[in-house]
Amino acid sequence: MINLEERVVEKKSFFKRLLIVYLFFALIFIFFLQRTYSLQVSEFNNYDLAALENKTKEVLVQPIRGIIYDRNGNILVNNVPSYDLIIKPWQISNIDNFIKEISLFIDLKQSEIDFVLENFKQKSRYNRELILKKDLTKVEIARFEVRSFKFPNAFIDERYSRKNKYPQLFSHAIGYVGGVSNDQLSTILEDQSLNQDETVFRYSNGFLIGKTGIENTYDKMLRGLFGKKIYEVDARGKLLRQTDFIQPINGDNLFTSLDLDSHKVAFEKMNNRRGAVVAIEIESGSIVTYLSTPSFSSNDISNGISSKAFNALLKDANKPFFDRAAQGRYSPASTIKPAIGLFGLDEGLIDWSFSIDDPGYFILPEDQRVYRGWRKGGHGNVNLNKAMIVSSNTFFFSLAYQSDIDDLIKHLSNFGFGRNVCIDCFNPDIGLLPNPEWKMNNLNFGWFKGDTVNLGVGQGYLSVTPLQLAYYASVIANKGSHKKLTLVENQVPKILENLPVKKIQNSDWEKMHSSMIGVIDDPQGTAKRLKDLKTYTVAAKSGTVELVSTETKEDYRIIRENEGNRDHAIIIAFGPMPEPKYAVSVIIENGESGGSVAGPVAIAVLNSLIKK
């Protein structure tokens, strides 16, 4: 035991030490209160927001894509509703029994059942819907509706499909839609500063994006803006109740310059031959016809196609997916001659009275190489007018021979060759406008004079697309100035291009027009068979693209046994003259004769356009 004195000391020591600990705790207490104050008062806004974000879940609502019209207000692409059977998994206790009961009156495929069984548990846990069967028939809808009181855990809802009303006619011009990659989706959602999240789909196929054609180039406009359903969720992400709904804004409708009737006519006349038809309204630069054949059904691609059928399309030797109108590369052949003639006039190399003797061939002075015309024996004495009508190669060989290659290339570029002439086309090819530098870099050869001579009749390295040919035709029709091509009006700025000229005058353009009229109307014209297919005047230039070089008609007869060796038929035309409204280019692969094979298609399209 300790004595009394020590007890007093002990008591004091105890009080002191207990107070020390209490003071220590008081400090912690103050620190704690300060901490709580800073959380609850100073940083309240941040934490309040964090709590709100915790319990809020946004579900995106897909907008409906805009409708695509032709220039006369005809609907080309629409959204067609289908009716899908949708179930609420969280209200279904036994999915096997549920499927058994539904199967009694609605036929379910094994794949549909498998899909539901695979996803049932997860969707159930998070209160999410699940599509049991897509595209119900009217009978199935009726069968379900009369029994719907027995199935509070299922309902029928409208879901859309993207449908082109003329799937074969516009499969390249308008293109198709398809599924979205994750990267694309993030980009789309970032445009609206949304997060990639769950989505209520309005389309049966989920997210859609324009893959090709106008659907692609105008995707952002057609797409619309996502809406949002805002839910309260718990920590596991289970939807508890909807707190807000921001309606989606559907995509804008798109009024294209495409002309339905001319497409119908062109498609019928092409008759599934390989080729392309492009027609342009000259004044506006609007593309009114844009057809590549053979075609495919854009609806099959947009809305699902069996892989077998898809592979068949891919492997088809006629390459239906290939957009010949904007991506097909062809030698322009004789259709280049108006441009060469205009070059000669502009440079002062020739005038309209200048003439040469055409023996049927041209001999290159440098190496005595012979360049043949299409007609044995030639066309006699030819001036520019006659050379255009009868398509004298010798005249243009000789004219090209005198040309400076750099000036000539610049001139051809002004007509749209070797560059993009369309503002809103999908992936247009620029073709190939060769020059000495290109030849050295790619073929490791210097430029021969013979290359320039070949260029004079559109053979050799030069290659162009039907779209460029149509543009070229309208530049000639419009006497040197033209607007860049567009597919949709009022959405992209019109760009006017003027052909820079030195000596060419209005009278030269008129004479060029009249010699191109002669191509059809003159008894000697290469396209004279077209004369009676129309009731108005048309200017044209036909061409025949040699794929295999032959010396004689006999030789050609042999090589034409193989269809792929036959010449391409090609024509450019515009009318009605003297004030042309439409220009058209037609290419038919292995069609052999520009005037008589490609020509009738061009005239039929012009007829359809001008009739209105």
Active site residues: 334
Using a 10 angstrom Cβ sphere, with 0-12 exposed, 13-18 middle and 19 or more buried, the burial of residue 17 is exposed
Smallest CA-to-CA distance from 431 within 412, 447, 404 is with: 412
The correct pick among 36, 72, 196, 272 for binding other proteins (CB under 8 A) is 36
Q: Applying CB under 8 A, does 9 fall inside the site for other proteins?
A: yes
CB of residue 33 vs other proteins: minimum separation in angstroms?
7
Question: How far is the CA of 394 from the CAs of 101, 594, 606, in angstroms?
Answer: 83, 19, 31
Nearest distance, CB of residue 237 and other proteins, angstroms: 10
Q: Is 536 in the site for other proteins (CB under 8 A)?
A: no
3-state secondary structure of 373: coil
Binding of residue 47 to other proteins (CB under 8 A): yes
d(CA 195, CA 507): 63
Order the strands of the 568-577 sheet from edge to edge. 286-293, 275-281, 582-588, 568-577, 537-545
Q: Give the whole-angstrom CA distance, residue 17 versus residue 21.
A: 6
Kindly tell me which residue out of 30, 33, 80, 142 binds other proteins, with binding defined by CB under 8 A. Answer: 33
281 φ, ψ to 5°? -80, 115
Q: Which stretch binds other proteins (CB under 8 A): 44-52, 92-100, 133-141, 534-542?
A: 44-52
Q: Answer yes or no whether residue 22 interacts with other proteins by CB under 8 A.
A: yes
What is the smallest separation between the CB atom of 19 and other proteins, expressed in angstroms?
A: 8
Closest to other proteins by CB, 195 vs 441, is: 195
Whichever of 104 and 235 has its CB closer to other proteins, that residue is 235
Binding status of residue 105 toward other proteins by CB under 8 A: no
Distance CA 372, CA 74 (A): 50
Given the rule CB under 8 A, which of 50-58, 135-143, 335-343, 441-449 is the region that contacts other proteins?
50-58
Q: How far is the CB of 124 from other proteins (least distance, A)?
A: 18
* Distance, C-alpha 272 to centroid of its chain: 21
Figure out which of the listed residues 4, 5, 30, 35 binds other proteins, where binding follows CB under 8 A: 35
Phi, psi of 511 (to 5 degrees): -65, -40
Of 42-50, 175-183, 214-222, 542-550, which part binds other proteins (CB under 8 A)? 42-50
Does 96 sit near other proteins (CB under 8 A)?
no
**Nearer to other proteins (CB atom), residue 39 or residue 312:** 39
**Cα 105 to Cα 139: distance, rounded to the nearest angstrom:** 10
Residue 50 interacts with other proteins (CB under 8 A): yes or no: yes
Residue 46 lies near other proteins (rule: CB under 8 A): yes
Cβ 244 to other proteins shortest distance, Å = 16
Question: Which one of residues 14, 105, 245, 536 is an interface residue with other proteins (CB under 8 A)?
Answer: 14
Smallest distance, other proteins to C-beta of residue 119, A: 24
Indicate if the alpha-carbon torsion angle 8, 10, 15, 16 is positive or negative. positive
User: Is 25 or 105 the residue whose CB approaches other proteins more closely?
Assistant: 25
CB atoms within 10 A of CB 63: 19
Q: Can the peptide bond before residue 294 be classed as cis, meaning omega within 30 degrees of 0?
A: yes
Q: Minimal CA–CA distance to 565: which of 545, 551, 585?
A: 545
Number of residues that bind other proteins (CB under 8 A): 42
Q: How far is the CB of 189 from other proteins (least distance, A)?
A: 22
Does 494 bind other proteins (CB under 8 A)? Our answer is: no
Provide DSSP, 92-111: -S-HHHHHHHHHTTS---HH
**Is the Cα torsion angle 433, 438, 443, 449 positive or negative in sign?**
positive
Binding mask 185-224 for other proteins (x = CB under 8 A): ----------------------------------------
Nearest to 189 by CA among 162, 215, 210, 207: 207
Query: Which residue in the set 114, 145, 158, 234 belongs to the binding site for other proteins (CB under 8 A)?
Result: 234
Cβ atoms of 357 and 373 closer than 8 Å: no
C-alpha count within 13 angstroms, C-beta hemisphere, residue 543: 30
Task: Tell the residue number behind the tokens 């054949």, with chain if given.
Answer: 293
Closer by beta carbon to other proteins, 4 or else 496: 4
In whole angstroms, the minimum distance from the beta carbon of 197 to other proteins comes to 17
233 binds other proteins (CB under 8 A): yes
Q: Residue type for 23, please?
A: L
- Among residues 402, 386, 381, which one has the least CA distance to residue 352? 386
Among 39, 309, 312, 558, binds other proteins (CB under 8 A): 39
Our finding on whether 8 is near other proteins (CB under 8 A) is no
The CB-of-311 to other proteins minimum distance in angstroms stands at 44
The conformation of residue 207, written as its DSSP 8-state character, comes to S
Judged by CB under 8 A, the residue of 4, 235, 317, 496 near other proteins is: 235
Residue recorded with tokens 């060989």: 397
Interaction between residue 445 and other proteins (CB under 8 A): no
Asked if residue 510 binds other proteins (CB under 8 A), the reply is no
Residue selected from 55, 150, 557, 611 as contacting other proteins according to rule CB under 8 A: 55
74 binds other proteins (CB under 8 A): no
Q: What is the distance between the alpha carbons of residues 397 and 340, in angstroms, rounded to a whole number?
A: 10
Identify which of residues 1 and 104 has a Cβ nearer to other proteins in the complex.
Answer: 1
> Closest distance between other proteins and the C-beta of residue 199, in Å?
23
Options 4, 5, 28, 195; binder of other proteins; rule CB under 8 A: 28
Stretch that binds other proteins, among 28-36, 169-177, 351-359, 443-451 (CB under 8 A): 28-36
Please give the C-alpha separations between residue 522 and each of 103, 508, 525, in angstroms, as whole numbers: 74, 19, 5
H/E element holding 492?
Answer: none
Output the smallest distance, CB 55 to other proteins, in A.
5
Q: Report phi then psi at 71, rounded to 5.
A: -75, -10
Nearest to 374 by CA among 523, 563, 552, 560: 552
Told to check if 25 binds other proteins by CB under 8 A, we report yes
Contact flag: residue 13 with other proteins (CB under 8 A): yes
Query: Binding of other proteins at residue 23 (CB under 8 A)?
Result: no
Q: What share of the chain is helix, strand, coil (3-state, %, to 5)?
A: 40, 20, 35
3-state secondary structure of 269: helix
Distance CA 364, CA 351 (A): 22
Q: Which is nearer to other proteins, 240 or 314 (CB)?
A: 240
Q: Please count the other Cβ atoms lying within 10 Å of the Cβ belonging to residue 607.
A: 17
Residue numbers of the site for other proteins (CB under 8 A)? 1-2, 6-7, 9-11, 13-15, 17-18, 21-22, 25, 28-29, 31-33, 35-37, 39-41, 43-44, 46-48, 50-52, 54-55, 232-236, 240
